[in-house]
Structures are given as C-alpha cells and as structure tokens.
Amino acid sequence: MTSAVSLAWPLALCLATKMFLRLIADNFTRRPRQKLLTGTALALGMAVATATLSVSLDVGDQLAREFRSLGANLMATPEADSLPLEIGGVDYRPANSGAYLSESDLPKIKSVYWHNNIMAFAPILQVPAEIRSVADGPVAAAVIGTWSGHSVALPDGRFFETGIAKTNPWWHLEGLWFREDSKECVLGANFAKKNHLKIGELVSVSAAGDRQAWTTLKATGIVSSGGPEDDAVIVPLTFAQNLAGKPGLYRKLYISALTKPEDGFARRDPKTMTADELERWSCTPYVSSIAASIKAVLPASDVRVIRRVADGEGKILTRVSTLLWLVTLASLLAAGLAVGASSAASVIERRSEIGLMKALGAGSATVGLLLAGEQLLLAFVGGCLGYALGLLLARFLGTRIFGMPPEPSLLVLGVILALAAGVTLLGSALPLRRAASYDPAPILRGE
C-alpha cells in the first residue's frame, strides 16, 4: 500500500505538469493577432537592447584601438631627471637633463601582467647635431633617434614588432621610414622646407661641435607631426646613440597601451588603498595601473600618464557608453509598456474564462501562475526573435561606426532572455494581479 502511494504522487505531479503546460500552449495559440502584436513589440525592444548591449560590450576595446591613433598614452623617462614640469598633459622637462635608460630592459615591458594591452613602444634619443646638404653649408639641428620598425626579442622566444609608426600613427609621412640597418633618415617637414630638401637627397650629419666626422644619410621620407620633430632629422636609434656616444641608451620612451577609462576609484592614490582595493586596482587595466607595472620592470624609470590623451579617451568612451545604456533603458521601457497594455487587454477579454476557472476550483495562485506562464512563453519567443534581429542591427552599427561588427555572445543571449522575462513579468504584473483577484460569482452572473 505504501509503495503504491509513493508511486502515485510522482505520477500525479507529472500529469498535472503536463496538463498545465498543455493549457499554456493551447492558450498561447489563441488570439494570434494580439499575441503577434505583443511579440513584435517585445522583439523590437529586445532587438534594440541586443544591438546596444553587443556594441557596448565591444565599444571599449574598439574605441581604445581607435584612440591609439591619438598617439602614445604613457611616457617613461629617467627617474633621476629634474623635477617634472607638465602643462596641459605635456611634459616640458629638458630633453638633455643627463640621465639615461637602458635599451636592454625594453623587452621586459612585454612580460608585465598587462602585456597583451601593450600595443607598441618606441625609445627616443635626441642629440644636438650639425647637418649639411650637398648645396648648403652646415646648420644646427636636432637629430632624433628612434625605432621605425623594430623587432624586439621577448624572453619567451617570440618577437614583437614595434616602433614610432605604431606609437604615433597620426604622424603624416610622405615617402618611407628609414631602414634601421642602413644609413637612411627621415626629414622633418619644416627642416626640409627651410633647407630645400626633398626625398632621395643626401644629408651629412655630425655631432655638434665636431665637424671632422661626417656621416652621409639618404632621406627616405618627410614627416609632419606638429611637434619638435618637424624641425629635426629622425634617424635610427643606433645611429643617434653612436653620435652621442651613448650606446644602448635612450632618453625617453613612448608607450601605447589599451586601457580602461579611469573613474574615481582609479584616480585614488594606491598608497591609501587596502589590500583588496589594491588588488582590484592592479587587476583592472587602468592607465595608472599599467604605468605602475611598467615602472616595476624598468629600473630607475619614471612612467607617467600623458593626460591629454588618456583623459580624452575616458571622456569620449564614458559618453558613448552612457548613450548606449540610455538607449537600452528606453527600449526596455517601451517594450514593458507595450506588454503591459497588451496584458491588460487580454485579462479583460478573458474575464469570463478566468471566472469559470475559479468557479471550478482554481485558486488565485493557479490562475496567476497560468497567465504568467503564457507571458513567459511569449517572452522567450520574443526574446529569441529580438536577439536574432539585434545581431543584424549590431553588425550594421558596428560596421558603420567602428568598421568591425561585434561578435555574437551567449552571454548577451542569456541577458536578453532574462531581460525579456523580467520586462514581461513587470509589465503584466498589475493585470495578472487583477485577474487573480477576480470574484467568480459576479462574472458568472454577467455583472
């Protein structure tokens, strides 16, 4: 007897569940026009939410890559230099303060925790020199040594291609960059114009005050940066080091890194943080935390943020993200209002059906659960359709705005289905509550 009772309960539960699901499915197929309108409104709302969420998840990385065209956002100099003098995010300390950094330490930059965020770096060594062309006599000018396209051997055996062309992609180059293993150079736009020089011409370079040792270089290009480089001659770093008598040394390092915009937490002094806060700060790709990790592997260096670049990135990215979230909230609100209006109309139309169900013994909880089940099924269908439409919209927006569509994400699908269910239940909460509280007697009397 006991075994029969124990088997009867699971069987009864299974039959009740099957009947409940059948009722939901049958009711879902009724009133197709109303269901279609509600599903369409929900699908459109979820499509907009899918598109904005997909783009917003990728917008940080996409914009960060776009922002790299603004130039490097980090700069390293010798710690023993004079006190820093920054105005508007620009470093004005003397270029020949006297201290130098070792070129041999540069591969360590790609060994820091955020090594994948380091997009490029380029050392700089500025040397006062005298330059003469075939037609004119010597003129005093600065020679700037750097990397044009340098292959850095990393500790793990891989090679990393970097150089000034990657850290400062906004420089306008006419012609080609010099090859590092040859006697070539790139002329600054102002220097070339002032001395009537063109691509392909030869120039001779010697250290300032030493007119006995001249080295002839071929100009492969003319660069315009809007900075001091326009009045200089840019040469391979090794040539500038030999010219200055500083082999293996450099004065300044430009670093381009993918970062997360700084918020109030990121701007706090790490020395005032607790252990948990310091770990959170270190494990977030803020420009300040990346700077700290680079400083740790470059001995006697001072790594600073180029604020005019970093702050510009943060402001633009924050505004774009805020706009996307506002659009998402607006689409969810519109979908919720549409679902609420449709649910209220459905409850009024099914008033007699609900009264009959309650007269036959269905409790308020059962009626509410049945109606909520119908709404959740509608939310699932509308959410899936909205996700599919949203992916198409996201591809269009991503391609038009960033030149690259966002990748489909199961995380976004899960979020969209959860949002669809939440919006549907919240939008239909009042109509469902009203339906559950109906008194069957007045309904059956036709009142």
Of 305, 326, 357, which residue constitutes the final position of a domain? 305
Q: Which pLDDT score, from 0 to 100, does residue 16 have?
A: 47
The answer to whether residue 13 sits within a structural domain is no
**9 assigned to some structural domain:** no
User: Do residue 233 and residue 354 come from a single domain?
Assistant: no
In a domain, 252, yes or no: yes
Half-sphere exposure of 131 (CA within 13 A, CB side): 28
Q: For residue 132, report the phi and psi dihedrals to the nearest 5 degrees.
A: -140, 150
| Judgement on whether residues 299 and 333 belong to the same structural domain of the protein | no
Question: Tell me, what's the pLDDT at 247?
Answer: 92
SS3 112: coil
Same domain, 289 and 233: yes
Give the structural domain span for 421.
23-64+316-444
Q: Quick check: 316 and 401 in contact, CB under 8 A?
A: no
Q: Kindly report, residue by residue over 242-257, the tens digit of the pLDDT.
A: 998 899 999 999 998 8
Q: Are residues 228 and 335 in the same domain?
A: no
Residue 275 located in a structural domain = yes
Question: How distant, in Å, are the alpha carbons of 127, 147, 247 from that of 239?
Answer: 10, 11, 9
Q: How far apart are CA 31 and CA 208, in angstroms?
A: 90
When pLDDT is cut at 50, 70 and 90, the band that residue 1 belongs to is: very low
Residue 5 lies inside a defined structural domain of this protein:
no
Is 345 among the domain residues? yes
For residues 86 and 194, membership in a common domain is answered with yes
Residue 2 inside a domain? The answer is no
Regarding whether 327 and 388 lie in a shared domain, the answer is yes
Task: Give residue-wise pLDDT tens across range 180-230.
Answer: 888 999 999 999 999 889 999 999 999 887 767 889 999 999 999 888 899
Q: What is the domain count for the chain?
A: 2
0.75 cut: is pTM over it? no
Burial bucket for residue 368 (CB in 10 Å: 0-12, 13-18, 19+):
middle
The token pair at 135 is: 């037609």
Same domain, yes or no, for 203 and 104? yes
The CA distance from 290 to 247, in Å, is: 28
Same domain membership, residue 266 and residue 141: yes
In a domain, 11, yes or no: no
Q: Please give the structure tokens belonging to residue 403.
A: 């030149």
Q: Give the list of residues 6+ apart from residue 142 with CB closer than 8 angstroms, or none.
A: 126, 127, 128, 129, 228, 231, 232, 233
Average pLDDT over residues 155-181: 89
Residue with the bigger pLDDT between 330 and 134: it is 330
Which tens digits make up the pLDDT trace of 293-338?
999 999 888 888 876 555 555 566 667 777 777 888 888 888 888 7
pLDDT of residue 84: 55
Considering the domain architecture, whether residues 340 and 273 belong to the same structural domain is answered as: no
Say if residue 39 is in the same domain as residue 84: no
